[in-house]
Structure 1
Amino acid sequence: MSQPPGPLRPDQQQEIVRQIGLALASQAPPGWRQLRIEYRAAGRHVEADLLVTGPDGLPRPAQPHPEAVRLLGVLRSGMYQPGRGTWLGMICVFDPAQPPDVDFVRPDLEPPFRQQPPALGFQDELRFFPRADEQIPAWLREKAGLTPPVSDGEVRTPRIYDGLDAAGKPLIRRQPLVPAEAERVLAYLDAAPVILASRSYGPDAFAPDRDDAVPMNFRTDGAWAWPGAVAYYLREHGVPPDPDLVAHIRARRFTAPSEVTEEATDQALAAITGERPQTTV
């Protein structure tokens, strides 16, 4: 593949989705209740996982029909937008009594690949589906080797929640994490080096009766710096971290560094305290 094919009209996209459902249903057991296929791609790297819910209501993994996998590739190519690229991950759910439910992975988030594609796969992605520079998300830029996977010197800090309601209670406007991913995010948050330690604990904004519950320490991975409240609220109340931080953790494959450089530590402390790090001559 050297050039993306012409764009598909919305009705053509719907027809391809319908054909995908027919191909999957042709191998499903009689009386099936749901077909759920998850498709991920980067360049020539393709993954397709199918769950079939049978008459007993239990979902079981199955091998997707090759024609369905081919049509998913056609759909992905046909949805390419010049300068903006195309989606790299999607989930499609088929129900006998409902229209298909199609959900595309946001472009700023890395799809949860079962096997990490090589850098060449992401380079091919940008070659097959060219993007304007400003349309290349940070995680894709890093995976394709366009920039080194290091901090640009500006350490970010997350939003703990998304504001307060009229009663002063915290508001959350974020997609929840599935339990398996929440555990991996927690492991990352807890594994990063501590840069500010404290034996003190603060009040729980979601449970005001807990006066001394939230850890007051800070950690960093060199690109982000976060308070202990981030992991605490995820663990205790299921509050997902700042979506940008979650995207960053996914891009790093949930692997936190065991140590960071002195310069990164200084930048993280500056981000926390609001003071510029001192330089030596």
Structure 2
Amino acid sequence: MSQNGPLNPMEQNELLQKITLLLTHSLPPGWGECQVEHRSAGSHHETVGVLRRVTGPGLPTPYDDFPDELGRLFEQLREGMYAPGLGTWFTALFKLTFPFTYEVRYDREGPPRWQTPPPAAALEDELRRFPRDPEHVPEWLAGRPAREMPIAKPFDGTAPDGRPQAQRPEVPAGELDAMVDYLTKCPIVLAARGYDTDLVDPAGAKNVPLTYHTDGTWIWPGAVGYYLRTHNVPPEPDLVEHIRRTGFRVPDVPEDARSAAVSTITGS
């Protein structure tokens, strides 16, 4: 477990200011923007970056000539942001724009995009230093293979007359708006131009979105939310129960989960 106490928001901000000043004084002349990615798990960590210069073509170029103190500051920040039972972040993405403007994002769930993958001992060390409740231990950290995300279907099949069928429990009226919001507001990971034919009302306008959404656990085409909102066609029962368990809260889906969803959809 973290040996030092947790950092309050003001103390976190002070560390971010130290990171800003350290970068400002160590980056080469002519820099305009620097993006730093600090990745960590247990005793294993790495700090890589991309630099964009004011002069020249302006294209970002890899950069890793950072002082050792930068990694220590990120590790101090990481330790101070530990939350009992929830753990701490694995990746911090820090973007600095000349001269002192910064923004930072953290990922507490997804595996870092390692240049050098950590040994198994580092993952074990992570859980010793920053214990997590079982439900908050990502599969990659526990050493379990990632589960394949199921893809929900808008309908169960087709009737003899060619119309789509869905023999499913109705979504209660009190949950309908929240369910539609979840289905339509979770991140789109794949999309095509235009719209598809409404299979329930084929004579009507083409309004069915040609998209795929994910919440990191399930994948569903945009048609699922459309048919629920427009024709009250319920989603698959397992997906409905999953959404209920989330409390209808749209999650922040990490980039690796979005990429995994695209791979599942495309079969790549």
TM-score interval, normalised by the smaller of the two chains: 0.5 to 0.7
Counterpart of 1:116? 117
CA distance in structure 1 between the aligned counterparts of 2:254 and 2:53, rounded to whole angstroms: 37
Counterpart pick for 2:196 among 193, 203, 208: 208
| Residue segments in structure 1 that go unaligned for 5+ positions in a row | 183-203, 212-232, 257-281
Counterpart of 2:54? 55
Task: Assess if the C-alpha contact under 8 Å between 2:149 and 2:217 holds in 1.
Answer: no
Task: Assess if the C-alpha contact under 8 Å between 2:140 and 2:146 holds in 1.
Answer: no
How many residues are matched? Answer: 191
What amino acid maps onto 2:7 in structure 1? L
Counterpart of 1:9? 8
CA distance in structure 1 between the aligned counterparts of 2:146 and 2:13, rounded to whole angstroms: 41
Task: Assess if the C-alpha contact under 8 Å between 1:108 and 1:139 holds in 2.
Answer: no
CA distance in structure 2 between the aligned counterparts of 1:79 and 1:130, rounded to whole angstroms: 13
CA distance in structure 1 between the aligned counterparts of 2:72 and 2:26, rounded to whole angstroms: 16
Task: Assess if the C-alpha contact under 8 Å between 2:111 and 2:256 holds in 1.
Answer: yes
Matches within 5 A, 1:116-195: 116-141=117-142, 143=143, 148-149=144-145, 157-159=150-152, 172-175=184-187
Counterpart of 1:75? 77
Q: TM-score, normalised by structure 1?
A: 0.55
CA distance in structure 2 between the aligned counterparts of 1:150 and 1:13, rounded to whole angstroms: 32
> Equivalent pairs: percent with the same residue?
31
User: 1:156 and 1:130, CA in 2 relative to 1: closer, same or farther beyond 3 A?
Assistant: same
1:47 is displaced (CA, Å) by 1.6
* 1:108-162 deviation per Cα after TM superposition (whole angstroms, max 9, x unaligned): 3222223322222111100011122232233322x2xxxx5386xxx8623479x
Task: Assess if the C-alpha contact under 8 Å between 1:40 and 1:89 holds in 2.
Answer: yes
CA distance in structure 2 between the aligned counterparts of 1:91 and 1:160, rounded to whole angstroms: 35
What amino acid maps onto 1:47 in structure 2? E
CA distance in structure 2 between the aligned counterparts of 1:248 and 1:159, rounded to whole angstroms: 20
Q: TM-score, normalised by structure 2?
A: 0.58
CA distance in structure 1 between the aligned counterparts of 2:146 and 2:51, rounded to whole angstroms: 41
RMSD: 3.9
Name the one with the larger strand percent.
2
Task: Assess if the C-alpha contact under 8 Å between 2:93 and 2:105 holds in 1.
Answer: yes
What amino acid maps onto 2:217 in structure 1? D
1:96 is displaced (CA, Å) by 2.5
Counterpart of 2:43? 44
